[in-house]
Amino acid sequence: MSKMAVFIEMKAGKLKQASLEVVQVLSMQGEVHAIGLGAGFEAFAATLSDYGAKGIHQIEGPELEHYTAENFTAALVPFLKTLQPDWMAGAHTSMGADLLPHLAAHLDWGYCADVTTFEAGPQPTFRRPQYSGKATAQVTFSGPMVVSFRPNSLGLKPPTKATPVLVTKHAATQGAGKVKFVQLIEGQSTRPDVTEANVVISGGRSMKSAENFKILEELADVVGAAVGASRAAVDAGLRPHRDQVGQTGKVVAPSLYVACGISGAIQHLAGMRTSKTIVAINTNPDEPIFQVADIGVVGDLFQIIPLLTTELKKLK
């Protein structure tokens, strides 16, 4: 039975689903201690208990109101040295991918990034894609380690009602570091982020104009999806970079990924090939995207997408 600490992310007063996935999966391995930084974390005690947390800790301090890797690490390191977990984990979100290796370096622990499969047991085993998904590394470890899990790859099951665990509050002891929070500039989009959505509908260069992405947005609205893009579409100015999926964009693992007019270059596949079901719509049946697709539709996306939207609206 392991004792594990899990870093929990909050955004706009909500818990990140990716953090809950980590808590739930690791609760099969042993005693999970959920750690939240900043005020307001205690509001999630019941939810975290239902997902399997056995300890809930809130670290408070004025410097923790806004995220910086330096201040969060400074608050976590002394706390973890006292808690003494066997290992530490979190979600491989933008924040997790920034914070967790920083933390591992300061603790002098190992770091295993972007894990997609976990096997509980006396010797926990982690698998992570490498070389743009062409190989998979199997990782085990003996000493303490920090592990980040790719959002959506573990899967979230319905929670089980549990008696809420009492929240333990701790004051941050290190104070503010040299890095200063200045301003948060939020994106305008009201859609889910591509890394968190259960369904992602992406368009490529073939969308031709930013205006044409409206047909993907209409379909996305019907199914509650995020809209992603290939780098060619982003480079052409059709979508902002935050929507880019791939090696130099975001890595996604939704239940359903729909690639519309995307050829399937290796750098794009690196960002989406661990999606559970992949649908490709493309006029050219010889494109590599069809090699990873579960369902391939050969045809013009400008005809297929509006038809699909109309039919799905009828089903609703």
Ligand X SMILES: Cc1cc2nc3c(=O)[nH]c(=O)nc-3n(C[C@H](O)[C@H](O)[C@H](O)COP(=O)(O)OP(=O)(O)OC[C@H]3O[C@@H](n4cnc5c(N)ncnc54)[C@H](O)[C@@H]3O)c2cc1C
- Binding-site ranges for ligand X (CB under 6 A): 204-206, 230-233, 244-249, 261-263, 265, 267-268, 271, 281-284, 287, 300-302
Nearer to ligand X, 91 or 245 (CB): 245
Nearer to ligand X, 57 or 150 (CB): 150
The residue whose Cβ lies closest to ligand X is: 246
SS3 142: coil
H or E element that contains 193? none
The CA-CA-CA angle for residues 94, 241, 10, to 5°, reads 30
Tokens 């689903």 belong to which residue? 17
The sheet with strand 117-119 has its strands ordered as: 117-119, 125-130, 135-139
Nearest residue (CB) to ligand X, 167 versus 216: 216
Q: Which amino acid is at 301?
A: L
Q: Are 9 and 40 in contact (CB under 8 A)?
A: no
**Residue 227 beta carbon to ligand X: minimum distance, rounded to whole angstroms:** 14
Closest approach of Cβ 91 to ligand X, in Å? 20
Helix (H, G, I), strand (E, B) or coil at 238: coil
Q: How far, in Å, CA of 160 to CA of 162, rounded? A: 6
Shortest Cβ 221–ligand X spacing (Å): 21
Residue with tokens 């920090």: 146
Q: How far is the CB of 228 from ligand X (least distance, A)?
A: 9
For the chain, the first-to-last Cα distance in angstroms comes to 46
Determine contact, residues 168/57, Cβ cutoff 8 Å: yes
Cα 27 from Cα 89, distance rounded (Å) = 12
Residue with smaller CB distance to ligand X, 3 or 208: 208
Q: Provide, rounded to whole angstroms, the least separation between the CB of residue 152 and ligand X.
A: 18
Question: Shortest distance, CB of residue 201 to ligand X, whole angstroms?
Answer: 13
Identify which of residues 154 and 219 has a Cβ nearer to ligand X in the complex.
Answer: 219
> Nearer to ligand X by C-beta: 29 or 263?
263
Q: Taking the complex as a whole, how short is the minimal distance between the CB of residue 99 and ligand X, in angstroms?
A: 22
Q: What CA–CA distance (Å, rounded) separates 191 from 200?
A: 11
> Given the complex with ligand X, which of 133 and 271 has the nearer CB atom?
271
